Chain A
Amino acid sequence: MSSTTHPHETPEDVRRRRASRPKAARQLGSTALIYLVLVGVVVASAVLTAVEGRNFFSQGNIWGVLTAMSVLGLISIGQTLVILVGSLDLSVPYVVSLATLIAAGGMKGLDANVPAAVFNTLVLCALIGLVMGLLVSLLDVHGFIASLGVGLIVSGYLATNYQGSHGAAAPDVRLLGRSGIAGIIPTAFIILLVCTLIVTLLLRYTRIGHHLYAVGGNREVARMSGVRTAVPVIAAHVVCSLLAGLAGLMLLSRTGVGLPTIGSQGRYDLLSIAAVVLGGTLLAGGKGSVIGTIGGVAIFAVIDNVMGVMQVNPFLKDFVRGLVIVLAVAVYARRSVVSRPPRFGPDRVLPLPGPLAGPASPTDKEPA
């Protein structure tokens, strides 16, 4: 577009035309940036894996990466919604543990119990989300505190009532954990993709999705614009807890028993928040996408995988993870915060420096 020059255009017109171009064309979107980083990480990992004498793109390895993505991915989708609406969810690890315990306890290793157990688990998780949503929206408790509190309550319940592994998954559920397409794509990953698609459509094309962004951007302005601010907040928390429950079921299909500490060991609360921010979503809310979050999760999964291949000390893994989080977010956090919406609409033109500023129209003399 900029390569074609019109002979009769003054420099002023060129500037105006350039300024009015949509932002995405001038600047790489943060989602595109995430996937560029992901490609870079994959290339680096492939090289490092090859140095170890193994193939990153082997069937088993891809299966491993995609499986590792699925649980954290599901939780991070929910976390994205909650962060978009301007809240936080620190209760996910305990909800995940609770889900594995309730489901495993309900199934008792029998296929006949599966529907009831899954239903009970998801309803319970949704209820937990509902409680948090009500606390955040109606009682004005900060999401950090509401979810931390609810998480602590659940963790106390877990620690008191469950000492070790509990119940057993039904054979069908276990089979599901091992099934997949062509030995490359696990079923869990397909579930993740479906959830991503549904939530993306929800955010883009439904009223509640738009309200979610509005409330996250500025709750007061959204309220004054006639949005019922409580509805998106509650919906986001319910969906987040539901997805955490689903992630718990997914873990159950792999482990076969309910474990009271499986969620807190996975550190799903902090890692999911890190993945969401890594995916370009503003921690303050109102800006971001689920697609970006999945990219962030993928970056984590690939790095974990390559560290596993290189047999890095598990404690050192945490060190690398922390470093990656800060550095990766630092790379683009700056741009997304600094860039502001134009003040005078799309055709705003900055005052020209030097003698060119003379013949400009009066609107151009406004201070930048």
Chain B
Amino acid sequence: MSATTTAPDGRGARVLPATEGSVVQRILRGAVTPGGAVFLLVAVLFIAVVWVNPSFGEPPQLIRFMGRTAPIAIAAMGQYYVIVAGEFDLSMGAVVATQVVIAGNYIGEDESRVLPALGLMLLVGASVGLVNGLATTMLKVPSFIVTLGTMLALGGLVRYLTGGAATGNPVDSFREIGRGGIQDVPVLDVLPYPVIILAVVAAAGVWLMRSPFGKTLIATGDNPDAAGLAGAHVWWVKTRAFMLSSLSATVAGILLVGYAGVHPSVGAGYEFTAITAVVLGGVVLGGGRGWLLSAAAGAFALELLFSFLNFQEIESTWRASVQGLIIILAVAASGRAWSLGRRPARTSPPPQPSSEQAAPAPSPNPARPGTETGEN
């Protein structure tokens, strides 16, 4: 994957733009893509927040903020798998609500039920994803409609079973997962469990996207027909993406039990916030483009923005408007940037391949367009 030989006439191996140049050059080039720009956005917003409220920059405050943002960041990463495969998952909020209610009612005050409950919740999450995925791939129903259906069905069922009110209360040891942390850490004061879970989920996700599954997932999102002809089991790849999404929603739900109460409305609107974060991270709706960690960074950018608005004492009702404005601007800008990142590379490629540049390129050079997607 590091080098491709496109021409048999001895023009030699041409290095892919993703891997040419020094580390600094590569980072700079990555920062220009929408997936990289979101990290700059996070930095700018962070500076803005600290400028407004200096205490926010202190490590204990900061790590608590990260803990608060962890659920939505995990949900955003889950949504990323589905979006990069070219689908949508609108059932996320309903899955979160379901898990919260399961935790509240099944565990109750019984300490010994925590582990079985975790297993049950993961099982429920995986099966919701399986249903979403199979209905999308096997029945050929658009995923927007399938997940809308599961959202209505699951949400309705949960509200019906609970009567629409808060019920049950899990033991504190379960709530500690979302609420507690390792005490007496140097510098940070406290290291919340959500931050650890976020780090583990992110690391696992990065590993997954570098594995053959990840490559197939991106290929499937870019062009399912081509991926299918190349031998990928498109239905199974997409189904697994849906399962990952629902499992992420499950983890987010487990964390949210600690913060919020046990109420069927806990996950309301989570799907759109997650999609917003993913889109803010420069991931292209329609699939095939984007980086996993950018999605998480998008979630952080969104939360930082809300913190900034809070500190500015802007009415919280304007939050929605700002969110709307931001995603439109981000997508408009990133649409430009992806096309800028793609086309000029053909006419003026960076440093090395001068021989390639001279050729009028009658033969298509493969692997070129997709290369910005990976690990910048």
Measuring CB to CB, which residues of chain A are less than 8 angstroms from any residue of chain B?
Answer: 135, 139-142, 144-146, 148-157, 159-160, 270, 273-274, 277, 283-284, 313, 315-323, 325-326, 329-330, 333-334, 337-338
Contacts and interface: CB of A to CB of B under 8 A. Distances in A.
Determine the main DSSP class of A at the interface with B.
Answer: helix
A270 B324 contact: no
Contact of A319 (B142, B153, B332): B153
A149 B325 contact: yes
Contacts of B321: 152-157, 160
Contact of B144 (A145, A150, A283, A323): A283
A183 to B, nearest CB: 33
Across the A-B interface, the 5 shortest Cβ-Cβ residue pairs: A156-B321, A318-B156, A152-B324, A322-B152, A322-B153
A316 B141 contact: no
A318 B140 contact: no
B155 A149 contact: no
Nearest to A330: B139
18 contacts: A139-B335, A145-B279, A145-B328, A148-B275, A149-B325, A150-B324, A153-B320, A153-B324, A155-B320, A156-B317, A156-B321, A274-B148, A283-B145, A313-B160, A318-B153, A318-B156, A326-B139, A334-B140
A274 B150 CA distance: 12
A269 B328 CA distance: 18
Given A283-B142, A333-B141, A316 B153 contact: no
Contacts of B60: none
Most chain A C-beta atoms within 10 Å of own C-beta, residue among B163, B321, B326:
B321
Interface in B304-359: 315, 317-328, 331-332, 335
Interface residues of B, number: 45
A327 to B, nearest CB: 8
A322 B320 contact: no
A156 B319 contact: yes
A333 B137 CA distance: 11
B272 interface: yes
Contact of B140 (A146, A273, A316, A338): A338
A334 B138 CA distance: 9
A156 B320 contact: yes
Contact of B150 (A153, A270, A322): A322
A141 B335 contact: yes
Pick the most buried of A140, A141, A142, A320: most chain B CB atoms within 10 A of its CB. Answer: A141
A144 to B, nearest CB: 6
Interface in B283-322: 285-286, 315, 317-322
B327 A315 contact: no
Contacts of A152: 320-321, 323-324, 327
A135 B135 CA distance: 32
A273 B324 contact: no
B317 A160 contact: yes
B151 interface: yes
Given A148-B324, A160-B321, A329-B142, 8 more contacts: A152-B323, A156-B318, A156-B321, A316-B157, A318-B155, A325-B149, A326-B139, A333-B140
Contacts of B90: 270
Contacts of B160: 313, 315-316, 319
B145 A322 contact: no
A294 B331 CA distance: 33
Contacts of B276: 148
B144 A321 contact: no
B82 to A, nearest CB: 13
Nearest to B322: A156
Nearest to B264: A315
A315 B144 CA distance: 21
Contacts of A157: 321
Given A323-B153, A326-B150, A140 B332 contact: yes
B134 to A, nearest CB: 11
B139 A321 contact: no
B159 interface: yes
Contacts of B319: 156
B369 interface: no
A127 to B, nearest CB: 16
A319 B156 CA distance: 5
Contacts of A140: 332, 335
A319 B152 contact: yes
Contacts of A323: 149, 153
Nearest to A324: B149
B120 to A, nearest CB: 20
B100 to A, nearest CB: 16
